[in-house]
Amino acid sequence: MSLVNPVFIDKIKRLGAFDINACFSCGNCTAICPLSDGENSFPRRMIRYSLLGLEEKILSSPEPWLCYYCGECSDTCPREADPGSLMMALRRYITRKYSLGRLADLFYSGLSSLTTWLLLTLMGVVGILLFHSQPNLEKVEPLSFISLDFLHKAGLVLGVFIGFFSLAQLLVMVRHLSMGKGYKRPTLRGLMRVLSREVFLQSRFRECEDRSRHLPHLSLFWGFSLLFIATVLAFGVDFFGFPPASKILARVLGLSGGILLLYGGGYFLLRRFRAQDYYSRRSHHTDWIFLLLLLLAGFTGLLLDLFHLLNLIWPAYITFAVHLVLVFDLLVSAPFTKFAHAIYRPLALWLSGY
């Protein structure tokens, strides 16, 4: 017996599924969805769970994470109920529910979201004001402004924070999914397949009728990843004694990562701004913020490089400060925002045998 929650759907609507009540269960969405098969009535089952407020069923369903939001369901829906938007709204809902101490709640409703982002940014700014040192004014030398030691310590704290929450929330996900209908025992093979096909190549994007998102999304992913690797490498030279050649490698990786990130981020920002595709027509504020943070972090990183090269003293230091604050915002919030799909989605895929 599942207890119906009559008011549940209000929450989901607020998270972006504005028209879902119009659904009359015709099943066109299921017929068109590339992900639905004999046992999985994608995405109709999720619509029913949502309308009836079967929260536990939703929390134990991998479906919202498997959806690519190609929009074909929304396109074929005779009632314009926009099932695709529902899947995205459910991701947001699940991200909130899985988060430890419901911390993610802070990021999803208008006022609290604004306050949270302002506070986080303020934290970053205050941190820099408190811990910066007198920079080298002759030559741009970022680490003379913010010391390596501080970055190391701050990074450590941030890493532990993110790691703790991510791990804990992944366990929450495992607990829920293992109770669900779609649960399959995870295998090593499965993990390899998820990592290669879904994470590194993201080839499933190509199964959508509209394949245009594949490259930009892949660029975004690799752009961020390369920048992360570059940062670790560069850091490693100064801190862990990596061979100095790593620094050149870091430069190359960082530069290409930055370009990829700008391309992917810019592409999606433009699409969302134009609001013509199903996935971009209705952007939630969480979509905007995530995208903007990614893009601005990448942009300021490249700008810093440029100013560094041109030896523009103050512009470089200010850009560096802004970059650090943005990166801080992006990372500290990662387990609770749209960023979290980077860990939830692969895990959901793995645990549902995809």
Partner 1 sequence: MSKRRIGVYICHCGGNISDYVDVEKVRRAVEEEGDVVVAKTTLFACSDSAQQEMMEDIREKGLDAIVIASCSPKLHLFTFRSMAQRAGLNPYQYVHVNLREQDSWTHTDDPEGATEKAIKLVRAGIRKARLSRPLQPLRVQTERAALIIGGGISGLRAALALADMGIHVFLIEKSESLGGWVARFKSLYPSNRDGQELINSLVERARGNERITIFTEASLVEKSGVVGDFKVKIKVKGEELTLKVGAIIVSTGFEEYSPSEGEFGYGLEGVVTLSAFKAMVENSRGSVKFNGKEVSSVAYIYCVGSRQNEGNTYCSRYCCNATLHTALMASELSPSLRQFHIYRDIRTYGKNELLYESASKKGSVFVKYSPEAPPSVVRENGRLVVKVRDLLTDGEELEIPVDLVVLVTGMVPPQERELLEVLKLPVGRDGFFNEIHPKLRPVETVIDGVFIAGAAQGPKNSYEAVASALAASAKVAGLVLKGYAELEPQVASVDEEKCEWCGKCLEACPYSAFERVEYRGKEVARVIEALCKGCGGCVPACPADAIDVKGYEDVAIREMIDGLLEEKK
Which residues of this protein are in contact with partner 1, per CB under 8 A? 1-4, 6-7, 9, 19, 21-25, 41, 45, 48-49, 51-52, 54, 57, 79
Please name the residue ranges forming H helices in 311-340.
313-332
Question: Is the Cβ–Cβ distance between 62 and 16 less than 8 Å?
Answer: no
Which residue, chain included where needed, has tokens 């893009």?
Answer: 295
The nearest distance, CB 39 to partner 1, in angstroms, is 10
The nearest distance, CB 184 to partner 1, in angstroms, is 18
40 phi and psi, to 5 degrees? Answer: -125, 100
The nearest distance, CB 53 to partner 1, in angstroms, is 9
Cα 65 to Cα 301: distance, rounded to the nearest angstrom = 31
Cα 278 to Cα 86: distance, rounded to the nearest angstrom = 12
For partner 1, give the closer residue by CB, 6 or 241.
Answer: 6
For partner 1, give the closer residue by CB, 7 or 130.
Answer: 7
The nearest distance, CB 84 to partner 1, in angstroms, is 18
The nearest distance, CB 25 to partner 1, in angstroms, is 5
For partner 1, give the closer residue by CB, 54 or 348.
Answer: 54
Could you tell me the CA-to-CA distances from 259 to 74, 88, 195, 220, 291 in Å, in that order? 33, 28, 23, 9, 15
7 phi and psi, to 5 degrees? Answer: -100, -5
The nearest distance, CB 91 to partner 1, in angstroms, is 20
For partner 1, give the closer residue by CB, 24 or 314.
Answer: 24
Q: Fill in the amino acid letter for 236.
A: G
The nearest distance, CB 286 to partner 1, in angstroms, is 24
Neighbouring CB atoms inside 10 A of 180's CB total 18
For partner 1, give the closer residue by CB, 8 or 350.
Answer: 8
Cα 175 to Cα 191: distance, rounded to the nearest angstrom = 18
The CA dihedral of 328, 329, 331, 336, to the nearest 10 degrees, is 150
Question: Is the Cβ–Cβ distance between 279 and 75 less than 8 Å?
Answer: no
Cα 347 to Cα 177: distance, rounded to the nearest angstrom = 10
For partner 1, give the closer residue by CB, 30 or 116.
Answer: 30
For partner 1, give the closer residue by CB, 3 or 130.
Answer: 3
For partner 1, give the closer residue by CB, 81 or 234.
Answer: 81
First to last CA, the chain: 29
Cα 198 to Cα 345: distance, rounded to the nearest angstrom = 9
What does R_g of the chain's alpha carbons equal in angstroms? 22
The nearest distance, CB 181 to partner 1, in angstroms, is 8
